[in-house]
Structure 1
Amino acid sequence: MANTWWGSHLLDHGADDEPWAFSSAPVTRGALREAVAGIAERFRRQGIAEGTSVVLRMKPSFTYLQVLLALWSRGAQVVLVDFRLQPAEYEPLVRLVRPQYQVAAAGTDGPVTGFRQESGFSIEALPDGRPAADGVRLVQFSSGSTGRPKVIGRPPDSVLAELERHAALPGMPGRGEPVLLLNSVMHNMGLVTGVLHALAAGAPLVVPPTLRPAEVVRLMARTEVAAVFGTPVHYALLSRIGDRPELPALRLAVSGGERVPQDTCEQFRAGFGLPVSPVYGLTEFGLIAGDLVGAPPPPCVGPPVPGAEVKVVGEELYLRLDRSPYLYGEHADRFTDGWLRTYDRVAQDPATGALSLLGRADSLAVVGGLKIDLAEVEAALLAHPSVTEAVVVHTGAVEALVGDGGAGLTADQLTAWCRSRLSPVKIPRRFHVTDRLPRNSMGKLLRDPGMLGGAAAPSERHR
C-alpha cells in the first residue's frame, strides 16, 4: 500500500482518544486519522495517486499537517514551499520542479497571523507537470552558495532513518510528554524533530497560536510541557518574561538552526532553571549531532548521533550518504564518492567526537534558524537600475553596502525594492549607501564586515 512507509511509524498507532496536538483547542489521534482520511479521499477524486508530484503552499495550521499526511498516504511526492516567499522567489522554484498539482490555502500571501487550527485549501492541476522522481516523497529547498536553490529530495527510508536517529538520542521526549514546538513546520527541524517525532513517539504536540512570549509561557504551564523545540531567537524572547508561572514538568529545551549566543544560554538557564541543548542537522539528511543530556555550551553541538557518519577535512564537515540528495543534476560538486560536502566549518574533539561549529565556508548565513544566501541578496540589489555595486555581509544581522554612483538612493528606497523581491528574513537590516564601494589593490570589492563603519558617509541613513 502507498502509506506503508510511514503509516506504522506515525498515524496507525495510538488510541482514538489519545491526544495528538493542541493549539487553540485539542485534537485527538482519532480526529487526526479521520481528517487525514477525508482529505486523502478528496485527493483521490482529483487523481492524486502513487508517484504524483504536488507542491504544498499553506500557512502553518493543523490542516497543513493533515494535508501533508494525506498526500503521503496517497503515495504522492510533496514539494514544500514557504508561503512567505515573494513571487520572484516562488515562481522560479515551481518552474524548476514542475509539480503536477498545487495545494494552496486561500490567503497564502501576507504576514503570519499565528498558527491556525484549520484552514481551507484548493487543489489545482498544473500544466506540464512531471511525476515524482526515484521514489522521492519529500522535496525541500535550501539556499545554495551559487545563488541557485538546492532542490533536495528525500525518499521514505531517509525520513524513517532520521526518526530512528531521534528515537536513539538520549533525552528525546517520549510517550505522554507534551512538546512545545516553536520552529516552523515548513522546515526540517519543525517538521521532523517536532511534528513527526512527536507523532511517532506518542508525545502530544503543542503549537502556540501566537508567539507572544508571555502567552507562550502561560500555554506551557497550562499544557504541562516537558520539552521545548525552538531557535535561539525564541529562547532570547522567552528569557525576557519576568513574571513566569511555575513549570514543574519542563525538563528539556532544544535549539537548532544556528549557534546559540552565550548570553541567551545564561539568561534562559537563570529564568527557567535548565540549559539550552543545541542540535545540528542539514535539510539534506536531517539530524546529525546533539547532546540533550550533557547540554554542551556553544559552539559545541555534541557528538554525531548513531546513524550519522561524518569526517572533518581541513575544518570542513563531510557527511556520508548513500546517494546524492539533490534532484535534477544540480550541485553535483557537493557530493563525491558517497560524501556530502556541507560547507560547515567545525572542530571535532578527538576524545569525545563532539562537534563545535566554527562558521561557513561559503556565502551562506544563518538568520533566525534559516540559511540564506548572501549572493542572492546581492543579486536582488544589483537588479536595481541605480545600484552599481553591492556587497552583503552578515554581522549578526544582514547588512548591505551599496554603491549608487551618486544617484542618491536611500535606505527606504532599497528596503522597498527588496520587499518586492525577497522574503522578509533576507532583507538587510541596515543599508550603507555611498557613491563607490572600497576595493583592494587588485580592484576586487572588499567583503570585510569590519569596514562597515567607514563605508558610508555620516549623512547616509540606515534602515
Structure 2
Amino acid sequence: MEKIWLKSYPPGMPTEIDTTQYRSLVQLLEESFHKFADRNAYVCMDKFLTYAEVDAHSKRIGAWLQSRAMKKGARVGIMMPNVLQYPIAIAAILRAGYTVVNINPLYTPRELEHQLNDAGCEAIIILENFANTLEQVLGRTQVRHILVGSIGEMLGAPKGMLVNFVVRNVKRLVPPFSLPNAVRFKDALSQGGGMKLTPVEVNQDDPAFLQYTGGTTGVAKGAVLTHKNVIANLLQTEAWGHPAMGGLAEQNVIVAALPLYHIFALTACAMWGMRVGALNILIPNPRDIGGFIKELAKYRFHMLPAVNTLYNALLNHPDFVHLDFSALKVCNGGGMAVQQSVNDRWRKVTGVPIVEGYGLSETSPVATCNRTDIADFTGTIGLPMPSTDIAILDDDGNALPPGQPGEIAIRGPQVMAGYWHRPDETAKVMTADGFFKSGDIGVMDANGYTKIVDRKKDMILVSGFNVYPNELEGVIAAHPGVLECACIGVPDEHSGEAVKVFVVRRDASLTADQLMAYCKEQLTGYKKPKYIEFREELPKTNVGKILRRVLRDEHTNEKKKAA
C-alpha cells in the first residue's frame, strides 16, 4: 500500500522502528533502572522514588510473588489509583515472569468478579480503600494471593502515618474489610528482602498485559498485549516525541494525572517515562482540580497527557492561569475527541497547543498522532506512527482512496495478539492481512492526516472511557421493576458524551431515583446513566430489535426544538 503520510513526517523521523533491540520489557526496564539509577522516577504527595529504589522495591515484590509458586505467565491484578506502589507492582510482576492485569479501582463487585475470573487472576495487589469490594467476590474467584497497600505506607514517617489516619478515620475512605490471608504491601517488601528474584526467560511474544476493554457485545475482553507490542509502542512514541523533546537539557517531567490502569497513561506516562528516564508526578485524585493544581505548582513540568474533559476542567479553575508553563513542551490529547474551543483556550493560557492522537487498548495504544512540533491544533488525529499502516475500509473490507469515509483499520507491531481466550471475537476485528478494525469511521486526506467523522459501533465515549450499551442494558434490565430498556450516548459539555437510558417500566411505581441508586451499586461511575426517561414503549424493527438510532435521532430533534 502507498504510505502517503510519510511525506508529512518531520525531517529525520524514522519510518520504521526496530523492536529487536530488546528481548522483553524486563530488559528495557532494567536498562533504565541502571542507566538512571540516581534520578527520581516517581513522586507522589511530595515523596520521591529514585530509579534505584523502583529497581530494589520491584525486585523484592517480584521475589515475594515468585515465592507463592505461581507458574510463568500467571495473571496478577493491580487495583490502585496513581500511588507509588503502582509502578513498583508493574515492574515486579513483569520481572517475576507474570502478566499484569490492570483493574479500575472504582469497579463494582460485579465488574471486578467478571474481570478476575475472565483473566484467571491468581494474585492481586490492591489498595485498602477498595479491599471491601474484593472481599465481596473473593470466594468466587481463583485469587489466592493478596497484597494490600495503603496510601500512606510509602510516604515515610511521620507523614505516612498521618495520611493513613486521615484517610481511614477522618475522611473514612477505607470501608471495613476482612481478607484473612492478605499480606500488607509493606510487609511483602520486607519479606522479599530475604528472598532472591529468580530471572525468568521471557520473550517478545509472551503476554505482558491483559488490558481490558469492551466490545460490540459489551462484555469486557482482555486485549493481549505482548512484550513486543508494548516495546514497539514505547519506541514509536519515543521517536515521535523527539522533535519537541529531543533537545531537552533537563530531566523530562511528566504529569501522570490520567489513571495508570488506563492504557493511555500506562504507556504515555509510566512505561514511556521509565524508558526515557523521566520523572512522573503521580496524581491519585485528578478530580480534585484544586489539589491537582497545587501539586503542579511545585514542579517545572514538560509533558501533560490528558483527555479533553481534564484540560477543560483545569482551564475552568481560577488558579490554573497562575502556574508556570515556561517548561511545557507537549500536551497530548487522547481517549476522546479534543474540542477546538478547549484547544484554543489551552493554547492561549499555556502557549502550547494540544497534540491530538488516536489509539485503543488493542493498539497499546498509540496508532496515530499529530506532529509534536505543530504550531496549532489540526482537528485531526494526525499521522500513522512509524512502522504503522492505516487503511480506510469500506463495508466489504476494501481499501478506500483519500477523501472517502470508511472504517479505520490499523496494522503495526503495537497491535494486540488477540483477545484473551476469545478467538471468535478476535476474528471479528482482525483482517487476513493483519489489520485491526477499530469500529471508528474516518477520512484520510491527501497528506495522510485522518479525521474521525463517526462511530460504527454503538459505543458511548464518556471522558475517554468506553461504555457499551449492551452491558448497561443487561444490568438495568435485571432490575425487577424494568420491563425493557435502551441506552444511547448524548452530547455533554463536560464529558463529551453522557449515558441516557430509556426505560419501559414493569412496576409503575419505579422512580428515576430508585433506578439511579441501583445503577450506582452495579456500575462504576462513568458508566452510570446521567439521564433516565420513562416511556410506554421503545421503537423496534419488525423482528423486535430495539432501534437505538431512532432514539438518538429523537433526542437530537428534541434538543433542536428546545434551542
| Fold agreement, TM-score > 0.5 | yes
1:202 paired to 2:305: no
Evaluate the alpha carbon distance shift between residue 410 and residue 454 of structure 1 in structure 2; reply closer, same or farther with a 3 A threshold. farther
Q: Deviations over 1:99-153 (max 9, x none)?
A: 3333333332589xxx946574499xxxxxxxx9972121111011112222211
Give the alignment's Cα RMSD to 1 decimal.
2.7
Counterpart residue number, 1:383: 478
1:216 paired to 2:292: yes
1:189 paired to 2:264: yes
Q: Deviations over 1:257-298 (max 9, x none)?
A: 000122211221222222111111111112101112226636
Deviates more, 1:169-178 or 1:159-168: 169-178
1:276 paired to 2:276: no
Residue 418 of structure 2: SS of its match in structure 1?
coil
| In structure 2, distance between residues paired with 1:405 and 1:50 | 50
Matches within 5 A, 1:78-97: 78-97=100-119
TM-aligned CA deviation for residue 400 of structure 1:
0.8
Question: Which amino acid letter does the alignment assign opposite residue 158 of structure 1?
Answer: N
The normalised TM-score by structure 2 is 0.73
Residue of 289, 298, 311 corresponding to 2:368: 289
Evaluate the alpha carbon distance shift between residue 335 and residue 234 of structure 1 in structure 2; reply closer, same or farther with a 3 A threshold. same
Evaluate the alpha carbon distance shift between residue 219 and residue 56 of structure 1 in structure 2; reply closer, same or farther with a 3 A threshold. closer
Counterpart residue number, 2:467: 372
Residue of 232, 239, 246 corresponding to 2:308: 232
Counterpart residue number, 2:384: 304
Evaluate the alpha carbon distance shift between residue 420 and residue 217 of structure 1 in structure 2; reply closer, same or farther with a 3 A threshold. closer
Q: Considering Cα pairs closer than 8 Å and 6+ residues apart, tell me whether 1 or 2 has the greater RCO.
A: 2
Q: Deviations over 1:209-267 (max 9, x none)?
A: 44233333343332100110111111001111334133211122111100012221122
Evaluate the alpha carbon distance shift between residue 364 and residue 454 of structure 1 in structure 2; reply closer, same or farther with a 3 A threshold. closer
TM-aligned CA deviation for residue 412 of structure 1:
0.8
Evaluate the alpha carbon distance shift between residue 378 and residue 214 of structure 1 in structure 2; reply closer, same or farther with a 3 A threshold. same
| In structure 2, distance between residues paired with 1:442 and 1:98 | 38
Question: Which amino acid letter does the alignment assign opposite residue 312 of structure 1?
Answer: I
TM-aligned CA deviation for residue 13 of structure 1:
3.1
TM-aligned CA deviation for residue 182 of structure 1:
1.6
Evaluate the alpha carbon distance shift between residue 251 and residue 38 of structure 1 in structure 2; reply closer, same or farther with a 3 A threshold. same
Q: Which has the higher helix share?
A: 2
Deviates more, 1:87-96 or 1:157-166: 87-96
Q: Deviations over 1:282-321 (max 9, x none)?
A: 1111210111222663641111111211200131011125
Counterpart residue number, 1:18: 39
8 Å Cα contact 1:84/1:110 also seen in 2: no
The normalised TM-score by structure 1 is 0.88
| In structure 2, distance between residues paired with 1:215 and 1:234 | 14
8 Å Cα contact 1:17/1:28 also seen in 2: yes
Counterpart residue number, 2:96: 74
Matches within 5 A, 1:355-434: 355-395=450-490, 396-405=497-506, 407-434=508-535
TM-aligned CA deviation for residue 405 of structure 1:
4.8
| In structure 1, distance between residues paired with 2:74 and 2:545 | 48
8 Å Cα contact 2:460/2:498 also seen in 1: no
Matches within 5 A, 1:3-42: 5-11=24-30, 12-24=33-45, 25-42=47-64
Counterpart residue number, 2:420: 327
TM-aligned CA deviation for residue 42 of structure 1:
1.4
| In structure 1, distance between residues paired with 2:73 and 2:532 | 46
TM-aligned CA deviation for residue 383 of structure 1:
1.1
8 Å Cα contact 1:405/1:435 also seen in 2: no
Deviates more, 1:272-281 or 1:404-413: 404-413
Counterpart residue number, 2:139: none
Question: Which amino acid letter does the alignment assign opposite residue 123 of structure 2?
Answer: Y
Counterpart residue number, 2:18: none
Residue 130 of structure 2: SS of its match in structure 1?
coil
1:168 paired to 2:168: no
Counterpart residue number, 1:129: none
Residue 38 of structure 2: SS of its match in structure 1?
coil
Question: Which amino acid letter does the alignment assign opposite residue 14 of structure 1?
Answer: K
TM-aligned CA deviation for residue 157 of structure 1:
0.9
TM-aligned CA deviation for residue 47 of structure 1:
1.9
